[in-house]
């Protein structure tokens, strides 16, 4: 692979764009970037998990057995591998509006594993290949299969207890502190803004409301969150604050569905496609208001916020005082509303309804519109 000016490793050969293209020949070529002796004779697809990016769990059958200190038999390949017509149609619409090229998210995660993963002090899956296709923008990762490692993935329909949320906030504090005052000069490959920001106009558009939100399975938008113009104005204000308050590198999409608990009980985060420079309380607010059941959030959110601030301070970062952090927490809780307008090609309806309900309750409880001045 070749290191480009923006920090992405560009593969010297085409990357797959569908599950069918995950052949033994391709996987051999990818793994030989780091393990020249690796030869894959056959690939067995074990599971295909659709989402914003497709994850393919597979079993690699090696010619001479597993490579010493190399990749294991069970692997997970992640990237733009979804060839469903609805996904392709949505991608064309989004790109035609000039709002977002979905492939950029895959490139961001490739850069993360190539450059930031070793420095953020968080437990992460082993990465055996991370590259982009210079011509198509496709980004592909070959990762440790976390299912085989015995982890428990976060399920948006199942709330986390406050104790587990507290442990996850400690993980967030560690990577926030490790990248405190990071700049574009020191990390030129890190996006200045989240891909979620670019996607926001699409999710709030009349087109989206006229299609997915008319489904009987869609969540009910409660007042005042049914006022599309006011919601759009609030998001505009929130993203302005996001740019102005960026002080570290943030996950950008830190919801419970992008988290897991390892075999030792330690929670951590995956799916770094929305990584960007941002304010730390954005990660905290979005995660807490979606991970906790509404009653638990109401009882514990202030204490959990203080727990996060203490963890941040313990890692040497000069975090904000409680009141300032609370104001930011109220503002960035708005991010969770996007679950209420997420189309089912990106998430199952059950996840959408459950998360939308938690986040909308938080936005109303916290008077997020008032915190944003709209």
The pLDDT tens digits of the residues spanning 152-197 come to 999 999 999 999 999 999 999 999 999 998 888 888 889 998 889 9
Q: Out of 30-44, 110-124, 146-160, 211-225, which region has the weakest mean confidence (pLDDT)?
A: 110-124
Question: If pLDDT is split at 50, 70 and 90, which confidence band does 319 have?
Answer: confident
Report d(CA 90, CA 210) in Å as an integer.
14
Q: Which residue has the higher pLDDT, 135 or 35?
A: 35
Q: What angle do CA 209, 214, 218 make, to 5 degrees?
A: 95
Question: If pLDDT is split at 50, 70 and 90, which confidence band does 91 have?
Answer: low
Q: Which residue has the higher pLDDT, 230 or 51?
A: 230
Mean pLDDT of 48-76: 85
Are the CB atoms for 143 and 256 separated by under 8 Å?
no
- In sequence order, what are the residues at sequence separation of 6 or more whose Cβ sits closer than 8 angstroms to the Cβ of residue 288? 165, 169, 297, 301, 304, 305, 329
Mean pLDDT of the chain: 88
| pLDDT at res. 7 | 47
Are the CB atoms for 110 and 131 separated by under 8 Å?
yes
Whether residue 4 is predicted with pLDDT greater than 60 in this model: the reply is: no
Whether residue 235 is predicted with pLDDT greater than 80 in this model: the reply is: yes
Two tokens, residue 356: 């939308």
Whether residue 97 is predicted with pLDDT greater than 60 in this model: the reply is: no
Two tokens, residue 154: 């976060």
Whether residue 342 is predicted with pLDDT greater than 80 in this model: the reply is: yes
| pLDDT at res. 88 | 53
Q: Give the β-pairing of 54-62 and 74-79.
A: antiparallel
Mean pLDDT of 285-312: 98
Q: Which residue has the higher pLDDT, 4 or 148?
A: 148
Q: Which residue has the higher pLDDT, 124 or 312?
A: 312
Task: Please give the order of strands across the beta sheet that includes 74-79.
Answer: 2-3, 9-10, 127-132, 139-144, 74-79, 54-62, 40-49
| pLDDT at res. 52 | 67
Two tokens, residue 41: 């004779």
152-372 classified as CATH 3.90.1200 = yes
* Helical H segments across 13-70, by residue range: 24-31
- Closest alpha carbon to 31 in 80, 89, 75: 75
Question: If pLDDT is split at 50, 70 and 90, which confidence band does 3 have?
Answer: very low
| pLDDT at res. 82 | 72
Are the CB atoms for 280 and 306 separated by under 8 Å?
no
- Closest alpha carbon to 97 in 258, 13, 207: 207
- Closest alpha carbon to 136 in 27, 15, 31: 15
Q: Out of 39-48, 58-67, 108-117, which region has the weakest mean confidence (pLDDT)?
A: 58-67
Q: Out of 26-30, 186-190, 323-327, which region has the weakest mean confidence (pLDDT)?
A: 186-190
Say how many C-beta atoms besides its own lie within 10 A of residue 189's C-beta: 19
| pLDDT at res. 85 | 45
Whether residue 223 is predicted with pLDDT greater than 60 in this model: the reply is: yes
Report d(CA 322, CA 216) in Å as an integer.
41
Q: Which residue has the higher pLDDT, 159 or 81?
A: 159
- Give the residue range(s) of CATH 3.90.1200 domains in the chain: 152-372
Question: What percent of the chain is modeled with pLDDT above 90?
Answer: 63
| pLDDT at res. 6 | 47
Mean pLDDT of 278-292: 98
Whether residue 312 is predicted with pLDDT greater than 60 in this model: the reply is: yes
- Cβ-in-10-Å burial (0-12, 13-18, 19+) of 298 comes to middle
């Amino acid at each position: 692979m070749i290191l480009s000016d923006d920090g992405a490793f560009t593969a010297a050969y085409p990357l797959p764009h569908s599950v069918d293209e995950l052949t033994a020949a391709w996987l051999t070529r990818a793994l030989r970037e780091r393990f020249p002796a690796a030869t894959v004779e056959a690939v067995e697809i074990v599971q295909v998990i659709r989402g914003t990016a497709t994850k393919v769990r597979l079993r690699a059958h090696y010619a001479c057995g597993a490579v010493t200190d190399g990749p294991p038999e069970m692997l997970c390949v992640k990237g733009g591998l979804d060839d469903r017509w609805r996904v392709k149609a949505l991608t064309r619409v989004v790109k035609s509006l000039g709002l977002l090229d979905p492939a950029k998210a895959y490139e961001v995660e490739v850069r993360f594993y190539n450059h930031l993963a070793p420095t953020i002090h968080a437990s992460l899956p082993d990465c055996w290949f991370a590259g982009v296709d210079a011509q198509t923008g496709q980004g592909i990762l070959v990762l440790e299969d976390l299912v085989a490692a015995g982890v428990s993935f976060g399920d948006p329909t199942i709330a986390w207890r406050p104790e587990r949320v507290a442990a996850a906030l400690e993980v967030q504090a560690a990577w926030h502190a490790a990248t405190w005052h990071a700049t574009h000069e020191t990390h030129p490959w890190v996006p200045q803004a989240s891909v979620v920001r670019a996607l926001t106009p699409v999710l709030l558009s009349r087109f989206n409301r006229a299609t997915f939100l008319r489904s009987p399975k869609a969540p009910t938008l409660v007042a005042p969150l049914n006022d599309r113009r006011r919601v759009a104005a609030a998001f505009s204000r929130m993203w302005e604050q996001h740019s102005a308050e960026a002080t570290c590198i943030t996950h950008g999409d830190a919801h419970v569905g992008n988290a897991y608990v390892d075999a030792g009980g330690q929670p951590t985060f995956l799916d770094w496609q929305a990584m960007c420079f941002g304010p730390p309380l954005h990660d905290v607010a979005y995660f807490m208001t979606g991970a906790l059941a509404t009653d638990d959030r109401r009882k514990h959110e202030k204490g959990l916020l203080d727990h996060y601030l203490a963890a941040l301070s313990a890692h040497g970062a000069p975090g904000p005082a409680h009141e300032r952090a609370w104001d930011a927490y109220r503002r960035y809780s708005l991010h969770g509303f996007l679950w209420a307008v997420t189309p089912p090609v990106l998430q199952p309806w059950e996840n959408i309804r459950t998360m939308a309900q938690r986040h909308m309750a938080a936005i109303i409880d916290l008077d997020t519109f008032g915190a944003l001045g709209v």
